[in-house]
Amino acid sequence: MKRLTMTLAALASFLFLATTLWATTSPQRMFTPEEAMTQLKAGNDRFATGHAIHPNQDRQRRIFTTSKGQHPFATVIACSDSRVPVEILFDQGVGDLFVIKVAGNVMDVDEVGSAEYGVDHLGTPVMLVLGHTHCGAVTAVVQNEEVHGSIPRLVDNIIPAVTKTKNDHPKLAGDELVTAAVVNNVWQAISDLLSHSPATRVRVAAGTLKVAGAIYDIDTGKVTWLGTHPDQKKIMADAGPAEVSHDAQQADHKDNVQQDTAETQHAHEVETETVPENVEKGGMSNTLWFILILLVIILGAVYIKSKNKQE
């Protein structure tokens, strides 16, 4: 009996040490939405004040993200404008941001799909819609400029924001009107995403995703943070129950989930000193399995021992 007690004590110690070690060295920690926002704000502060540190831009980072996969901490949709370089203005590097660039930062079908890849497949805790000052796409709609080719179908997405701005502020004109329309265009994109993406709504409702707006000033380099959509609750309620849609989404994305699992397992092999903080969550489930199996073995040993003693 003494031997059994010692064995159990040794196993319990091993279990404790193994789980502690796993918890402290596991690369599975993911930013919360608040932490991700803090990273973006700090990065923009560094950039705008001339103190950029240009992180994660060397060869080692390329090798790391190639072998271990991408684990960006924010999905960002921004205008294609060449003066809005997203990684630079947030002072981030390779594999840090999942960026969608499209003229006027609109959320049409392809952009919603790309955003879902970022927030749902890659699991970024933040979805940022970034408008910018002096936006040519918004200005073109405000001034009712004649556009050709495929551009009319693009600016269709901006028209509701401009119409709303003109209706709400009939006295605004010129730059002031464009500035107000740029903000409303950000809200429009967020509204379009929340309305058309059940996967996004599920994550917002669960508190694992923050969908926020911001405006980048191409002159000062500073980002003005707008926060979440003022009507987020209403938009999500009008779009229907997220839970029901999520079930359908789960079925649709079965392949993606399986691929995610493979990527997560792959990430376990990451060396601790080069692990970025913003890596995928969910690794503790393997630890739990490990504990469970060991507990079963211990209980089995106790049972067999006590049975032998009775005999």
Kindly tell me which of 79 and 89 has the beta carbon lying closer to Zn ion: 79
Which residues, 96 to 125, sit near Zn ion by CB under 5 A?
none
* 44 Cβ contact partners less than 8 Å away, ≥ 6 residues apart: 89, 90, 91, 221, 222, 223
Q: Least distance in Å: CB of 26 to Zn ion?
A: 41
User: Of these, 135, 140, 194, 223, which contacts Zn ion (CB under 5 A)?
Assistant: 135
Q: Least distance in Å: CB of 39 to Zn ion?
A: 24
Kindly tell me which of 132 and 246 has the beta carbon lying closer to Zn ion: 132
Q: 165 vs 160, 181, 184, 186, 223, CA distance in Å? A: 9, 6, 7, 12, 21
User: Of these, 79, 129, 161, 202, which contacts Zn ion (CB under 5 A)?
Assistant: 79
Kindly tell me which of 89 and 137 has the beta carbon lying closer to Zn ion: 137
Kindly tell me which of 37 and 79 has the beta carbon lying closer to Zn ion: 79
Query: C-alpha angle with apex 84: 82 to 88, nearest 5 degrees?
Result: 110
Q: Least distance in Å: CB of 81 to Zn ion?
A: 4
132 - beta bridge partners?
A: 216
Q: Does residue number 91 form part of the binding site for Zn ion (CB under 5 A)?
A: no
Compute how many residues bind Zn ion; rule: CB under 5 A: 4
Kindly tell me which of 215 and 235 has the beta carbon lying closer to Zn ion: 215
Stretch that binds Zn ion, among 31-39, 115-123, 128-136, 281-289 (CB under 5 A): 128-136
* 72 Cβ contact partners less than 8 Å away, ≥ 6 residues apart: 95, 96, 97, 98, 118, 122, 124, 278
Kindly tell me which of 79 and 204 has the beta carbon lying closer to Zn ion: 79
* 126 Cβ contact partners less than 8 Å away, ≥ 6 residues apart: 31, 33, 36, 37, 40, 73, 74, 75, 209, 210, 212
Look at strands 126-132 and 210-216 and give their pairing: parallel
Q: Least distance in Å: CB of 132 to Zn ion?
A: 6
Under the rule (CB under 5 A), what is the footprint of Zn ion?
Answer: 79, 81, 135, 137
